Amino acid sequence: MSAAASVLVTGAGGFVGSALAEGFAALGWQVTALDREFDPATRERLRGCTLVMAALGDAVPADLPPVSLVIHAAAVTTAASDLGWTPAAHVAANVRPLVAMLEYAARTRPAAFVFLSSSGVFAAGDGGDVLTDADVPTGTSPYAAAKRAGELLTPAALEGVTAAHVIRLGYLYGPHEIARPTRARPSLVARWLEAARDGQPLLVPADDPRRDWTFTPDLAPALARLVARPPAGRVVHLCSPFIRTDSAMAAAIAAHVPGAVCAPAPAIGPAKPPMRASDLSPFGLQWTAPDAALAQLVATEVAAA
C-alpha cells in the first residue's frame, strides 16, 4: 500500500486503537478514527485524523467512507461481571460490531481487513513454555469466546472479497494508558508508573510470571508491513521478541525513578505462557526494547508529572 493509503481504525478512542490511529497518521496514512467517544486528550493526539463518533452495534454509519485498510480494534475487555452484564451481553458487545464491520468491508471492498484478536483466547494450561501460532486456544470466558469467534468469522466472511488478516496481540504497554469502562484494568506497566508517580512501591506478583511485552507505538509500523504481504491463511502472533518476568520490568522502572522500590504482591494464580512472535512477523522492524520503552515512559509520565 502506498504512503497515501487510507485506514479506518475502530475503537480508536481507546488505548490500542488510538495508538494505531496515531501511528498510521505518523506513517503518512489518511486515518479515519471511529469510536463512540474521544476524551479531550485523545482528541488532541488524533487531531490529524478524521474522527467519527458512533456506537458500533448492528450497523456502521451510513456515510462512513471507503478506505484501503480496515483495522477492527474495538473490544470490551472488562469482565462481564464487573460491568453487571450477562455473559451473552458481553459476547454480543464484542461480536456484533465485528459483524457490522465485516458487512461494511464486504460492501466497500478495502484492499485488506485486519481483525485484532488477543492472547486472551488462551487458557493457563495451553501451550508449553511459550504460545505459538500452532497452539490451539481453550479459553472459555465470554471475551475469549468472542475473540475466538472473530478469528473464525473474519476469513470466512471475507473470502473472495478482500485480504483478511487475523492477528493475535500479546501483553501491551505504552503511553497514554488509562482505565476506561471497556478496559478497566490497565497493564502492569501503567500501574507501576502510577505507583512511581505517587511514591508508592511497585507491586510484583509473587509468582513472577513471564510475559511477552510489546510497546504500542510499534503496532502501526508492524501492521503496515504485515498487510503489504498476502494473508498467512492462519492466525499470526504479532508481538515483540522480548519476554521478561514481571520483576524484571518493575525493576527497570524503579531504576529510572530515584527512591522507587519493588515489593511483593499476592500471586495471580495460574498464568498463560508468553506468546512467541510468529515467524511471519514483519521483517525489518526494529521492535522497541523494554529498557528503551520504559525509560521513555518514565520521562514522559513520571519525571514530567
Per the domain annotation, does 295 fall within a domain? no
- As beta bridge partners, residue 32 has 8, 50
pLDDT confidence of residue 3: 43
Helix H, strand E, coil C: the string for 98-144 is HHHHHHHHHHHCCCEEEEEEEHHHCCCCCCCCCECCCCCCCCCCHHH
For the chain, what is the domain count? 1
pLDDT at position 65 is 85
Query: Residue 87 above 90 pLDDT?
Result: yes
**225 has pLDDT over 90:** yes
The mean pLDDT of 211-224, rounded to a whole number, is 97
For 171, the grid coordinates are 501483553
Q: Is the pLDDT of residue 90 over 90?
A: yes
What b/e sequence results for 266-302 when a residue is b if at least 16 CB atoms lie within 10 Å of its CB, and e otherwise?
A: eeeeeebbbbbbbeebbeeeebbebeebbbbbbeebb
Give the whole-angstrom CA distance, residue 287 versus residue 276: 14
Residue 186 lies in a domain: no
The answer to whether 213 and 243 have CB atoms below 8 angstroms apart is yes
Q: Does 200 map to a domain? A: no
Q: What's the pLDDT band for 304 if we cut at 50, 70, 90?
A: low
Q: Domain holding 20: CATH number? A: 3.40.50.720
Rounded to an integer, the average pLDDT of 193-211 is 96
CA distance 181 to 183: 6
- Overall average pLDDT of the 25-46 stretch: 96
pLDDT tens digits for range 7-22: 999 999 999 999 999 9
pLDDT of residue 62: 84
Single pTM value for the model: 0.95
| Digit-coded pLDDT (tens) for 50-60 | 999 998 887 78
**pLDDT at residue 184, as a whole number:** 87
Round the CA-based radius of gyration of the chain to a whole number and report it.
19
Q: Within a domain: residue 34?
A: yes
**Could you read off the pLDDT of 268-277 as tens digits, one per residue?**
888 899 999 9
Instruction: Answer yes or no: is 264 within a domain.
Output: no
Query: Rounded CA gap, 13 and 16, in Å?
Result: 9
Looking at residue 4, its pLDDT comes to 63
Sign of CA dihedral 170, 163, 56, 16: positive
**Positive or negative: CA dihedral 216, 118, 70, 75:** negative
Average pLDDT, the chain: 94
Is pLDDT above 60 for 2? no
Q: Is residue 247 part of a domain?
A: no
pLDDT tens digit sequence for 140-192 = 999 999 999 999 999 999 999 999 999 999 999 999 999 888 998 999 999 99
* Local structure of 154: helix, strand or coil: helix
Whether 158 is covered by a domain: the verdict is yes
For residue 7, the SS3 value is: strand
Q: Which domain holds residue 230?
A: 6-177+214-241+275-282
Single out the residue of 80, 79, 81, 69 nearest to residue 116, CA to CA: 69
Q: Which of 31-40, 68-77, 267-276 has the lowest mean pLDDT?
A: 267-276
Chain segment 228-248, per-residue pLDDT in tens: 999 999 999 999 999 999 999
> Does residue 259 sit within a domain?
no
Residue 171, SS3 per DSSP:
strand
